[in-house]
Amino acid sequence: MDKKIAIKVENISKTFRIPHEKTNSVLGAIQNTFKEKAFEEFKALDDVSFEVKKGEFFGIIGRNGSGKSTLLKILAGIYQTDKGRIKISGMISPFLELGIGFNPELSGRDNIYLNATVLGMTKKQIDKKFDSIVAFSELERFIDQKLKNYSSGMQVRLAFSVSIHANRDILLMDEVLAVGDSNFQSKCITEFNRYRNLGRTVIIVTHDISVVERYCDRAMLLRNGKIKKIGKANEVTNAYIYDNMSDEEKRIRKNEKEKALWAKKEMEKMKGKELENEKKRIEEEKKKQEEERKNKVAEITAVEFLDKNGEAKNAFETGSAIDIRIDFKVYKKVRLINFGIGIHSISGGNVIGYNTQMDDYKIDMDKNFIILHFDKMPVLTGEYYMNVACWSNIEQEHYDYKPACKTLKMFSVGQKKKYRGFLDVPHKWIME
């Protein structure tokens, strides 16, 4: 292996067998002994190959179930691969999920000795570094309490402190910044920088793409056990965000189809009088809507978000072009008609609101749709809903109103995802 390479992974795969039957009793276990067990195979990793250079910060990202943690456990020697091979140059210090390498019935003190021994440290080395390990974890008052009485944050602090004091060549980190307060996270980041300065190798699994972009030289995106992309950190995190946008779009579409399918199936289940009553209710609802239309001046018939190619979507990147198309029908000739939209955060708060009356835009009532165009939608990461209204003027009642008629999902990449609030307003800092 090249002397510059710390880890070389070649064509590794890992499959788990998931049993379909769950046994909750001794009798059930005995009975299942004589049954042919049914298993489902789950391929956590599928022909994965990559290299990590010595002194490199390497990020691994991907959605839940993509194989990230499985890969880290294989590198740590906890899991064995089904096929392929791994070459490692140097000693590894793993910081994985809570509970690995610890005994909840032992005290924090005993667990330091237990975990550090597992990492290859001698008792003499542990004795020498014990006070430093405890000081870094900030658990002096609790060090003789049983680990099962520790909070998850306290366990993370203890485990991380032992890992970094093992002083190994390669550090494996699994969501180290996901648990713990801001002070502890700052200490972790300081340690990252120290490891970088010492030329150590760090592999970090995280959902926080800002950590990958800030600290990692390169990164790898896993999806369904396969490598989707590997390369510069910012390019990989962007690919991850676009994957999430695509997945969210599919989820929204799927939910819409499932709702329609559910309604159809519920109708098919009905028989006899129940079916007749439902058909009668639907017919009466149609008649009611027709009667309402006779009295309506105008109606909003459809609302869509469109991308730059004119395709209907519900998930967009901050700063991308978006069209909001409003389809309408005018039933009675009036002097003027206005349309407006309001976008609001699901968590609360008005984001933007525009209407044709504000902008002195006259509607051609012979048309059947209007588009509100944004060259660059400035809305930051989050989930939003949109209200759409149609009216004559502020003094009169609305002709039609569609509350929360569409949901919008926004994803931010690069610098924008660091911003707080709802909008990315163009700005710059100046010093005279």
Q: What is d(CA 336, CA 244) in angstroms, rounded to the nearest whole number?
A: 42
Q: List the single range of 31-35, 260-264, 357-361 with lowest mean pLDDT.
A: 31-35
Give the pLDDT band (50/70/90) at residue 190.
confident
Give the pLDDT band (50/70/90) at residue 176.
low
pLDDT (average), residues 222-250 = 87
Give the pLDDT band (50/70/90) at residue 21.
low
pLDDT (average), residues 323-344 = 92
Give the pLDDT band (50/70/90) at residue 265.
confident
Q: What is d(CA 142, CA 149) in angstroms, rounded to the nearest whole number?
A: 9
Q: Mapping DSSP to helix (H, G, I), strand (E, B) and coil, where does residue 345 land?
A: strand
Task: Give all domains of the chain, ordered by start, each with its CATH number.
Answer: 5-244 (3.40.50.300), 296-432 (2.70.50.60)
Q: Which two tokens stand for residue 224?
A: 């369904």
Q: What is d(CA 58, CA 64) in angstroms, rounded to the nearest whole number?
A: 19
pTM over 0.85: no
Q: What is the pLDDT of residue 292?
A: 67
Q: What is the pLDDT of residue 241?
A: 82
Q: What is the pLDDT of residue 280?
A: 77
Under a CB-based contact definition with an 8 Å cutoff, are residues 345 and 384 in contact? yes
pLDDT (average), residues 249-274 = 76
How far from 97 is each of 68, 163, 219, 269, CA to CA, in Å? 12, 13, 20, 47
pLDDT (average), residues 181-187 = 73
Give the pLDDT band (50/70/90) at residue 76.
confident
Q: What is the pLDDT of residue 189?
A: 76
Q: Which of 203, 221, 143 is nearest to 8 (CA)?
A: 203
Q: What is d(CA 91, CA 141) in angstroms, rounded to the nearest whole number?
A: 32
Q: What is the pLDDT of residue 270?
A: 75
pLDDT (average), residues 6-28 = 78
Q: Which of 174, 206, 222, 204 is nearest to 49 (CA)?
A: 222
